[in-house]
């Protein structure tokens, strides 16, 4: 019972066994990790996110195994292999579910990139972490990479023009309010892109809307295409922060 309790809430099993000092220590560590997620929201930094995840894993595994061993030592019997078989998977399951729930409750969410439309900023197959509360207190600005939702699907694109701007494409160059913008993040992978990808507009962006484009300009379906259109402010869901799962661990999305 003690091991199972600690597999759910680290330190609870030690309380059940009367190990007050160890229980209080584990509960304080548990509370500290919770505070780091919210309200401090440290997972917005890659290194902090990794350290918090490892701290979460170590805490849960140690608390459950410590309670199991203490129970058996008090009874002066050898720990049962079957208890370990039961407790370890239960601990891994609860720490995984609780960690994911805590991250989401704190406003962070991971996404897998299914296409090449934003390469080389994010690559197909990258796992990214996004702050889903970032734009609750601010509005997207020019050249911000945003996540928005449309018809139940999340998209990652870059804001090129905002409300009141007039944007136009001419032979691959993009101008906003008559000024050609510098875009070091753009790549071209096709010698014969569709005409609407190269020449478009002029388009005047309405209030509360955004003209978005993919960084891989020759393959991205975005606001240049009339069927895709502009992005409404209400559909902006979050801001990508960094790459979590790929060969480019920790790369910031910018």
* Residues known to be catalytic: 117, 157
* Sign of the dihedral defined by the CA atoms of residues 134, 138, 140, 144, in that order: negative
Distance CA 51, CA 243 (A): 15
User: Which pair of structure tokens corresponds to residue 152?
Assistant: 């139940």
Q: What does each C-alpha distance from 147 to 47, 121, 128, 131, 174 come to in angstroms? A: 22, 14, 11, 9, 22
Contact 94, 60 (CB under 8 A): yes
**Residue 42 is inside which H or E element, if any?**
none
DSSP assignment string, 49-100:
HHHHHHHHHHHHHHHHHHHHHHHHHHTT-PPPHHHHHHHHHHHHHHHHHHHH
Residues in the chain: 254
Pairing of strands 231-232, 200-204: unpaired
User: Which pair of structure tokens corresponds to residue 248?
Assistant: 């480019």
């Amino acid at each position: 019972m003690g091991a199972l309790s600690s597999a759910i809430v680290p330190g609870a099993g030690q309380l059940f066994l009367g190990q007050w000092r160890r229980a209080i220590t584990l509960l304080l560590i548990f509370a500290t990790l919770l505070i780091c997620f919210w309200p401090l929201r440290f997972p917005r930094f890659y290194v902090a996110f990794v350290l918090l995840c490892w701290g979460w894993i170590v805490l849960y595994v140690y608390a459950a195994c410590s309670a199991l061993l203490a129970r058996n030592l008090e009874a002066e019997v050898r720990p049962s292999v079957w208890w370990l078989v039961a407790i370890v998977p239960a601990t891994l399951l609860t720490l995984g579910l609780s960690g994911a729930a805590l991250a989401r409750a704190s406003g962070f969410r991971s996404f897998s990139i299914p296409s090449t439309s934003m390469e080389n900023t994010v690559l197909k197959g990258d796992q990214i972490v996004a702050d889903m509360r970032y734009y609750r207190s601010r509005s997207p600005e020019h050249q911000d990479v945003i996540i928005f939702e449309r018809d139940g699907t999340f998209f990652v694109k870059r804001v090129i023009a905002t409300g009141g701007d007039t944007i136009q494409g001419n032979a691959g160059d993009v101008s906003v309010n008559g000024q050609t913008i510098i875009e070091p993040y753009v790549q071209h992978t096709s010698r014969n892109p569709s005409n609407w990808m190269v020449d478009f507009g002029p388009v005047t962006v309405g209030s509360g809307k955004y003209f978005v484009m993919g960084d891989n300009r020759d393959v991205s379906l975005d606001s240049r295409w009339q069927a895709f259109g502009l992005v409404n402010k209400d559909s902006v869901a979050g801001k990508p922060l960094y790459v979590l799962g790929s060969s480019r661990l920790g790369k910031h999305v910018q």
